[in-house]
Amino acid sequence: MTETFQGGRLAAKAIAAEGVDAIFTLSGGHVMPIYEGCRQEGIRVLDVRHEQAAGHAAEAYGRMRRSVGVAVVTAGPGVTGIITAVANCHVAQTPLVVIGGARPLVQAEQRALQELDQLSLFRPITKWSAVCTHAERIPELVATAFRHALGQPRGPVYLELPMDVLFAEAAAERVGPSRSDARMFGDPREVMKAATLLSDVERPAVIAGGGIWWDGAWKQLRAFAQNGGFPVFLNGSGRGALAPDHELFFQHARRVAVDEADVVCVIGTPLDFRLSFGRFGADTKLVHIHADATELGRNRAPDAGIVGDCAAVLGILADALKTRGDDSAWLARLRDAENAWWDSHRAEIESDAAPLHHYRLGKILDDVLDPSTVVIGDGGDVVAAVSRVLRVHSPGHWLDPGPFGCLGVGPPYALGVKTAKPAKQVVVVAGDGAFGLNGFEFETLTRFDVPVTFVIGNDAAWGEIRIPQVGIYGDEGEVATRLAPTRYDLLTEAFGGHGEHVERPEELAPALERALGSGRPSIVNVMLDPEAMAGHPYRGM
């Protein structure tokens, strides 16, 4: 006789079969059978304090494993609470599986508790959204959700499992993944076109983004760069794909590179605001490699556009460019521009002034943190400044929210990273404003005994907005951008972590070392100069 299981157990079996060993949630009665199924299947259930945090944590879990994480949310406000996290994944093309509870099917349109047309909320911001109406189809639809989330281009999906479906009994006919891991190698004609452009180039520039991490393409990127002698700039999850001391890695000369290059090769990232919408030099040729065909041609047409997996395409191009030598004069030009940036900011980076300059914070972090540390950026000016100074030594060791610019990801990302990679040291660099959005997740971290260190850059303001606001409207125009100079380190007394307060540069390194060595969730509250980033360009314009 075929064994039957409750729908919640079938969902848990299907999740476990995908290699997922933890889900993120906020307790809700509509999804209670899933919790019981996870308990029986050995899947950890990590409950947070807001559904948005569950989504962010699941996203980070998947990002660290280059796979997909799962968030389970209850009906109504549970589902609406995760919308921002789903939108963040949608814009960044990051995989995420959201399982939402719902009122029983038999109560549809009867004004049941927390009843809402939830699918209509998710359809614009997901790759796939569906409702399961029969318990026996749960494994099939869970597998379908994973297939859509991980298929190119990656993205979030939503599967609704109504309450009566989760409580119903059904047989487990087939439970397991249902997808292909095949890679796209790109149209040979476009690949050859790109190889020709890159072989004849005199002033090349390569800009690589998150696709490098997701496609596991860092080795192929290095071979491609070395065989072609190409200067490489990295953004987002692509950071760390080349070591910071690699002779072909550049960070601060990008404006010079794209203005003067004859060919720019953009890999695994869109031509969005981070790349000036593709507005490079007037005569600059563009090679664009992306898994999403709709990104090829957005804002400008590529001279060679390759729809493909970054590792597969770069492996071919690297072989095609083995005989090309580098352009020493061009690399020297870019290295001079790189050094000029460091020289122009050296006084700020080495400043002993108090409160601290944002660049000084970045420099001390770079000096103290082990190169294997996973750093999470959560904020505006603080993260922008620190990221210019802090080096990333390995792929997958820098996380930020991506092009949606979603604040509040720090605490839940930390939970997701440590769940996926428990042995990793994790440091969150957060603005004081950003920390406030999900700061209560510090309780979650202490409850689950997750040792993460938060470095809160405290300028008592929404600095990235306040500074241009004052610059445009004057001091009297400063509205809704001031915060209290809060002692965030004292929160640890309530929650049970380790706290440090820093006002001077010489205090920061020992405070960091104590926090990292405490073995507990910790907050290092660093007072920053609120005027330090005056003149920093406002990224929203």
Q: What is the pLDDT of residues 362-412, one digit of tens each?
A: 999 999 999 999 999 999 999 999 999 999 999 999 999 999 999 999 999
- The residues, ordered by sequence, that sit 6+ positions from 213 with a Cβ below 8 Å of its Cβ are 63, 66, 237, 238, 241, 395, 396
Q: Which of 523, 432, 408 is nearest to 486 (CA)?
A: 432
The CATH classification number of 350-527 equals 3.40.50.970
Domain ranges of the chain: 4-168, 188-334, 350-527
At 537 the pLDDT is 55
Say if 188-334 and 350-527 have the same CATH topology: yes
At 176 the pLDDT is 83
At 327 the pLDDT is 79
Radius of gyration from C-alpha coordinates of the chain: 24
Beta carbons within 10 angstroms of residue 325's beta carbon: 8
Across residues 249-276, what is the average pLDDT? Answer: 95
- Give per-residue pLDDT as tens, 425-461: 999 999 999 999 999 999 999 999 999 999 999 999 9
| CA distances for 456 relative to 12, 371, 440, 441, 511, angstroms | 37, 20, 14, 15, 12
At 125 the pLDDT is 98
Q: Using CA atoms, how far apart are residues 473 and 492, in angstroms rounded to an integer?
A: 38
**Secondary structure letter of residue 236 according to DSSP:** G
188-334: CATH, from 1.10.3720.10, 3.40.50.620, 3.40.50.10710, 3.40.50.1220:
3.40.50.1220
Strand-strand pairing, 304-307 and 374-378 = unpaired
Across residues 232-259, what is the average pLDDT? Answer: 96
- Give per-residue pLDDT as tens, 30-80: 999 999 999 999 999 999 999 999 999 999 999 999 999 999 999 999 999
Q: Which CATH class is domain 4-168?
A: alpha beta
CB-based contact 413:397 (threshold 8 Å): no
Q: Which of 361, 405, 292 is nearest to 502 (CA)?
A: 361
At 541 the pLDDT is 37
- Give per-residue pLDDT as tens, 183-222: 999 999 999 999 999 998 999 999 999 999 999 999 999 9
Largest interatomic CA distance in the chain = 78
Q: Is-cis flag, bond preceding 302, omega within 30?
A: no
Mean pLDDT taken over the chain: 94
Burial 67-98 (b: 16+ CB within 10 A, else e): bbbbbbbbbbebbbbbbbbbbbbbbbbbbbbb
At 444 the pLDDT is 97
CB-based contact 96:88 (threshold 8 Å): no
Q: Using CA atoms, how far apart are residues 82 and 25, in angstroms rounded to an integer?
A: 10
CB-based contact 105:164 (threshold 8 Å): yes
- Give per-residue pLDDT as tens, 295-349: 999 999 999 999 999 999 999 999 998 777 667 899 999 999 999 999 999 999 9
At 108 the pLDDT is 78
- pLDDT above 70 covers a percentage of the chain that reads 98
